[in-house]
Amino acid sequence: MNVRTTPIAVTAKPPFRAEHIGSLLRPSDLLRQRARFAIGEINAAELAAAEDEVIVGAIRMQEQIGFKFVTDGEFRRRSYHSYFYGALGQLRIDTIGGAEAVGADGDGGRGAQPVAIIGSRVQWTHPINVTDASFLTKHSQLWPKITIPGPCALHFRGSDAAVTASAYQDVDQFWSDIVAAFTRELHALAAAGCRYVQIDETAFAKFGDPQVQAALAARGDDWSALIDKYIAVTNRVLAAAPEGMHIGMHLCRGNRGGHWHAEGSYEEVAERLFNTLAVNFYFLEYDTPRAGSFTPLRFVPKHKSVVLGLVSTKVPELEDAAVLERRLDEATKFVALDRLAVSPQCGFASLDTGNPLTVEAQRRKLELVCGLARDIWGDT
């Protein structure tokens, strides 16, 4: 089956027909070098050289497969959020006390929820991802894509209580600091020639989960009111972003070692998410029935695009291309084909230890995404 019935314009700017979320499985050699660095066997320059080498390899792999953009696989990061927030102060988001994930025996169940620690004010003092973007530009002619965590991640993982525990007396000041920090980073990236940024938002897709709603209520938060607050904050960042920068949002449901943090349809958040949030394209996780149907896509306005995350990074089994084409055909009942694209649902290694699949399985899944894009749109 082929859902393409009329010619579709070739995409020259993000989002592209074939996408991936950013992180890639860390090569075993890099993990060994990082372990050596941790015990003092090699220095920072030697570690950086090892990172440079494997990042160039990742760039070449993405080029060979057919993507129109490249990421550095997040090979310099332990996790997608710790790298960024750690550069803004005494800030971290992690599991507390070594909490184990539900389903840690390998069945890919619900993972332990990370918690935010806000030990200082949020302050941008230097570019965080500019060196990474410049490295990509130096080694590839393709679009450099940089991923950053969402501006609401700290609050979602900690609430007002975490904000005011030691660093702030005024929550509004915290939000002003967040907006200022993200704005300065986006402008630094633009000045370095990076025009493609993906925000990894950990909240919006999770608000439809009854268990998440209950947990928020238990700490005194109204989940529906938080949606409005988070949209308002994110819109402040987007309004201040550099002109000409393409910013998309990935809605993450949790991705740690093959486990997840939330389930449920987008229905309860869709109307506000697609119409009030001022982002022009979304990366939506649709790899399992836990995400619900495509029906919430009926709220997507005609000037916005959706990247459907149909390929799972949590399991090694390769999806059937024919099945994915049928799913795309189903999605066109709500969003026109020329406003759709395809990707894995999330990164392959949100944490440096990665998800439970091999580098070979990762490549097959990325090749599947590009092959599907060529079959359906005639372009990646």
Query: CATH code at 92?
Result: 3.20.20.210
pLDDT digits (tens, 9 = 90+) for 29-84: 999 999 999 999 999 999 999 999 999 999 999 999 999 999 999 999 887 777 89
Instruction: Please provide the average confidence, as pLDDT, over all residues in the chain.
Output: 90
- On whether residue 184 sits in a domain, the answer given is yes
What pLDDT score was predicted for residue 380?
96
pLDDT digits (tens, 9 = 90+) for 122-181: 999 999 999 999 999 999 999 999 999 999 999 998 999 999 999 999 999 999 999 999
Structure tokens at 216: 């928020």
- On whether residue 156 sits in a domain, the answer given is yes
Residue 8 has pLDDT above 60, yes or no: no
Separation CA 49–CA 357 (nearest Å):
26
Upstream peptide bond of 15 is cis (omega within 30 degrees of 0): yes
Separation CA 28–CA 33 (nearest Å):
9
- On whether residue 43 sits in a domain, the answer given is yes
What pLDDT score was predicted for residue 109?
61
Residue 230 has pLDDT above 60, yes or no: yes
Residue 354 has pLDDT above 70, yes or no: yes
Which own/partner contact pairs does 162-167 have at CB distance under 8 Å and 24+ positions apart? 162/115, 162/116, 162/117, 162/118, 163/118, 165/118, 166/118, 166/119, 167/89, 167/90, 167/118, 167/119, 167/120, 167/121
Separation CA 130–CA 127 (nearest Å):
6
pLDDT digits (tens, 9 = 90+) for 277-293: 999 999 999 988 877 89
Structure tokens at 287: 């790899």
Separation CA 349–CA 14 (nearest Å):
22
Residue 207 has pLDDT above 90, yes or no: no
Are 197 and 187 in contact, with CB atoms under 8 Å apart? no
Separation CA 363–CA 40 (nearest Å):
33
The CA-atom distances, in angstroms, between 257 and each of 129, 330, 359 are 25, 30, 14
Separation CA 360–CA 63 (nearest Å):
16
The mean per-residue pLDDT over the stretch 253-271 comes to 69
Return the C-alpha torsion angle 199, 201, 205, 210, nearest 10. 180
% of the chain surpassing 70 pLDDT: 89
- On whether residue 3 sits in a domain, the answer given is no
What pLDDT score was predicted for residue 106?
40
pLDDT band at 264 (very low <50, low <70, confident <90, very high): low
- On whether residue 12 sits in a domain, the answer given is no
The mean per-residue pLDDT over the stretch 174-189 comes to 98
What pLDDT score was predicted for residue 105?
37
Domain encompassing residue 211: 28-377
Residue 128 backbone zone (phi > 0: left; psi -120 to 50: alpha; other: beta): alpha
Residue 36 CB-density burial (10 A; 0-12 exposed, 13-18 middle, 19+ buried): middle
What pLDDT score was predicted for residue 211?
84
Separation CA 177–CA 326 (nearest Å):
45
Separation CA 89–CA 120 (nearest Å):
6
pLDDT band at 98 (very low <50, low <70, confident <90, very high): very low
Separation CA 296–CA 305 (nearest Å):
14
Are 23 and 374 in contact, with CB atoms under 8 Å apart? no
Quote the crossing angle between the two packed helices 171-191 and 223-239, to the nearest 10°.
40
The mean per-residue pLDDT over the stretch 313-332 comes to 96
3-state SS track over the chain: CCCCCCCCCCCCCCCCCECCCCCCCCCHHHHHHHHHHHCCCCCHHHHHHHHHHHHHHHHHHHHHHCCCEECCCCCCCCECCHHHHHHHCCEEEECCCCCCCCCCCCCCCECCCCEEEECCCCCCCCCCCHHHHHHHHHHCCCEEEEEEECCCHHHHCCHHHHHHCCCCCCHHHHHHHHHHHHHHHHHHHHHCCCCEEEEEECCHHHCCCHHHHHHHHHCCCCHHHHHHHHHHHHHHHHHCCCCCCEEEEEECCCCECCEECCCCCCHHHHHHHHHCCCCCEEEEECCCHHHCCCHHHHHCCCCCEEEEEEECCCCCCCCCHHHHHHHHHHHCCCCCHHHEEEEECCCCCCECCCCCCCHHHHHHHHHHHHHHHHHHHCCC
What pLDDT score was predicted for residue 102?
37
Structure tokens at 214: 């209950």
The mean per-residue pLDDT over the stretch 245-269 comes to 75
Residue 255 has pLDDT above 80, yes or no: no
- On whether residue 8 sits in a domain, the answer given is no
- On whether residue 371 sits in a domain, the answer given is yes
Quote the number of domains for the chain: 1
% of the chain surpassing 90 pLDDT: 75
What pLDDT score was predicted for residue 263?
59
What pLDDT score was predicted for residue 209?
81
- On whether residue 368 sits in a domain, the answer given is yes
The reported pTM is 0.90
What pLDDT score was predicted for residue 203?
84
